[in-house]
């Protein structure tokens, strides 16, 4: 299965009609947050593929021309605190789980303390255990905005990783953890890391990830 993963900065190579030709073979689109909603909707509209997303600490309601507020990109499924089964016409399938937000550092939208995030992760973990017990399915891809503790995290509070994310990886052992929030200019090593059995990938702008699905 081929995933187009986006995060944190607009990739101008995707923000044009040619995206249907260059990336038309992807099976799904995933956003790790902090991207303009109209950009995401443009890519999703031209590719016409399933779209899943979490929100970042800089995601705020967007004002429409009619004066109403758009609080999330349209045309997709928000993974925040949820689990979703991604299926392709060919029969391949992946189980996705996700969580929005970053560490609390000032009180704007989508910021949580470690204890707040831990409570949310516990609820997600209960769902993951129930799914594994009742259907035998495990989480394949964990999608978040912020990194887990121990990989790609900064020293400042805003960019610190969540310990609760690292615990989720240890318990549920997804094949991949995709996150955003970390930019190359921060001086943080963004090379993929392995925590337990999970490949942790920091995404900036865009990447195409191929996954063996079942």
CATH number, domain with residue 179: 3.60.21.10
- Domain extent at residue 113: 2-210
How many separate domains does the chain show?
1
Beta-carbon contacts of residue 141 (< 8 Å; ≥ 6 apart)? 3, 30, 94, 95, 96, 97, 174, 175, 176, 177, 178, 211
What is the pLDDT at residue 97?
98
Report d(CA 20, CA 23) in Å as an integer: 6
Q: What is the pLDDT of residues 150-182, one digit of tens each?
A: 999 999 999 999 999 999 999 999 999 999 999
Percent of the chain with pLDDT over 90: 86
pTM: 0.95
pLDDT at 214 over 60: no
| Confidence bin at 107 (pLDDT 50/70/90) | confident
Residues in the chain: 214
Tens-digit pLDDT profile for residues 51-98: 999 999 999 888 777 777 888 999 999 999 999 999 877 777 999 999
């Amino acid at each position: 299965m081929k995933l187009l993963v986006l995060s944190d900065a607009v990739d101008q190579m995707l923000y044009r009609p040619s995206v249907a030709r260059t990336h038309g073979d992807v099976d799904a689109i995933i956003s790790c947050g902090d991207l303009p909603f109209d950009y995401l909707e443009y890519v999703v509209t031209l590719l016409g593929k399933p779209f899943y997303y979490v929100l970042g600490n800089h995601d705020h309601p967007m004002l429409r021309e009619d004066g109403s507020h758009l609080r999330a990109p349209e045309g997709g499924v928000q993974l925040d605190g949820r689990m979703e089964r991604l299926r392709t016409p060919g029969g391949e399938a992946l189980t996705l789980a996700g969580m929005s937000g970053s560490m609390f550092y000032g009180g704007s939208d989508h910021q949580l303390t470690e204890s707040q995030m831990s409570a949310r992760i516990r609820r997600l973990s209960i769902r993951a255990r129930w799914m594994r017990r009742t259907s035998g399915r495990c989480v394949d891809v964990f999608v978040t905005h912020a990194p887990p503790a121990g990989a790609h995290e900064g020293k400042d509070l805003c960019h610190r990783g969540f310990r609760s994310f690292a615990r989720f990886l240890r318990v549920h052992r997804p094949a991949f953890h995709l996150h955003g929030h970390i930019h190359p200019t921060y001086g943080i090593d963004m090379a993929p890391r392995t925590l337990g059995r999970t490949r942790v990938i920091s995404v900036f702008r865009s990447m195409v990830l191929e996954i063996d699905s079942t």
